[in-house]
């Protein structure tokens, strides 16, 4: 095809030279032979230049196609490597050695950082790890051997690593353009979970057990919150100050064993605290309820929740 195009171009160029020269000599008597031949040469050169431009454009398109093919192959290779790393890391989460499990958790977090499209999947895996059955001498009154205590403590350290990585993978609450990722911590046992200042989508923690502290202060929670039947240990503290609940906040049947602070939090959707058992240290100072509040059967150390909310609302009004 290229040889045919070159031959055709040469033929057209020769025809252009002689055709233009002859036409000038016939139709314009003022033009001499040299001028006619010079003009014909320009015409033939223009034909060759057009062919050269066509060749360059064809080379450019071939190069672009080649680069597209190479880019697709690179992306396929990267996806294959990511899939292999992901599968290997998930497999290592079941390893007996705690340091190997910690390394697998960090490998998953690294995959999420290098490939944001995997972030929700990695968070689902980390949450599923926290949902695994877990016992610890502080949570169980049974008899524990020394080796069993040490093993439980090592497992606890791995779980704390998973909690920290979840927090680092969530975007900052101030980053409104960032996606809001979902967390499913149903039936999980959590200790010192700190998600403060993070942007979260749907937060599910039905029937979870909370030991020590959990911090959701300054969070932007765009989806519904399900804290149904969550049980806090006697030393468990719940901090939820300056948090915005954009959707419904379900705290039905929650049992706060320690202080709980909802100071200056904003409930823009339905808030449910029905049948909740709240500690005497619960506070709602400055909290705002834009949607309906349901608190049937909720108690706060021998007082009803409605009375507590009335007191805090009156105190805020007096402060303003």
Contacts of 200 (CB under 8 A, 6+ apart): 170, 180, 181, 182, 183, 219, 220, 221, 222, 223
| Cα–Cα distance, 308 to 284 (Å, whole number) | 8
Q: How far is the C-alpha of 260 from the C-alpha of 101, rounded, in Å?
A: 33
For residue 108, the model assigns a pLDDT of 94
Ramachandran quadrant class, 10 (left: phi over 0; alpha: psi -120 to 50; beta: rest): alpha
CB atoms within 10 A of CB 95: 13
**What CA–CA distance (Å, rounded) separates 222 from 201?**
5
Helix axes 33-92, 2-27, angle to 10 degrees: 150
Quote the pLDDT of residue 318.
38
**What are the average pLDDT values for consecutive 10-residue runs of the chain, which has 320 residues?**
62 67 67 68 72 80 85 75 85 90 94 91 95 84 83 91 96 94 95 95 94 92 95 86 96 89 94 86 88 84 63 44
Q: What is the pLDDT of residue 54?
A: 78
Round to whole Å and give the CA distance between 104 and 319: 51
25/42 Cα distance (integer angstroms): 16
Which tokens is 241 given? 């100050």
In this prediction, residue 69 carries a pLDDT of 84
| CB-based contact 84:142 (threshold 8 Å) | no
Residue spans of beta strands (DSSP E) within the chain: 181-184, 189-194, 199-204, 209-215, 220-221, 225-226, 231-232, 237-239, 244-245, 249-250, 260-261, 266-267, 271-272, 277-278, 288-289, 293-294, 299-300, 303-304
The predicted pLDDT at position 152 comes to 87
């Amino acid at each position: 095809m290229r040889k045919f195009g070159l031959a055709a171009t040469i033929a057209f160029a020769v025809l252009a030279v002689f055709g233009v020269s002859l036409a000038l000599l016939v139709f314009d008597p003022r033009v001499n032979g040299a001028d006619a031949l010079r003009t014909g040469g320009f015409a033939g050169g223009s034909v060759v230049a057009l062919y050269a431009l066509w060749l360059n454009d064809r080379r450019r398109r071939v190069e672009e196609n080649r680069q597209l093919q190479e880019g697709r192959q690179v992306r396929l290779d990267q996806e294959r490597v990511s899939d292999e790393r992901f599968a290997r890391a998930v497999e290592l989460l079941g390893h007996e050695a705690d340091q190997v499990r910690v390394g697998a958790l960090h490998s998953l977090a690294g995959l999420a950082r290098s490939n944001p499209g995997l972030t929700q999947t990695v968070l689902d895996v980390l949450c599923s790890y926290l949902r695994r059955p877990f016992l610890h001498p502080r949570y169980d009154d049974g008899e524990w051997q020394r080796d069993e205590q040490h093993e439980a403590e090592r497992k606890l350290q791995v779980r704390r690593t998973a909690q920290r990585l979840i927090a680092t993978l969530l975007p900052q609450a101030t980053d409104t353009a960032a996606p809001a990722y979902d967390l499913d911590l149903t039936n999980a046992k959590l200790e010192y979970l700190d998600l403060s200042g993070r942007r979260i989508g749907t937060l599910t923690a039905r029937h979870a057990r909370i030991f020590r502290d959990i911090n959701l202060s300054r969070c932007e929670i765009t989806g519904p919150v399900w804290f149904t039947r969550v049980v806090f240990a006697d030393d468990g503290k719940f901090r939820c100050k300056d948090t915005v609940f954009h959707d419904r906040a379900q705290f039905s049947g929650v049992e706060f064993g320690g202080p709980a602070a909802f100071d200056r939090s904003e409930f823009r959707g339905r808030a449910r605290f029905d049948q909740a058992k709240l500690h005497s240290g619960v506070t709602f100072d400055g909290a705002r309820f834009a949607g309906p509040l349901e608190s049937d059967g909720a108690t706060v150390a021998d007082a009803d929740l409605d009375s507590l909310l009335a007191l805090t609302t009156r105190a805020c009004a007096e402060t303003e």
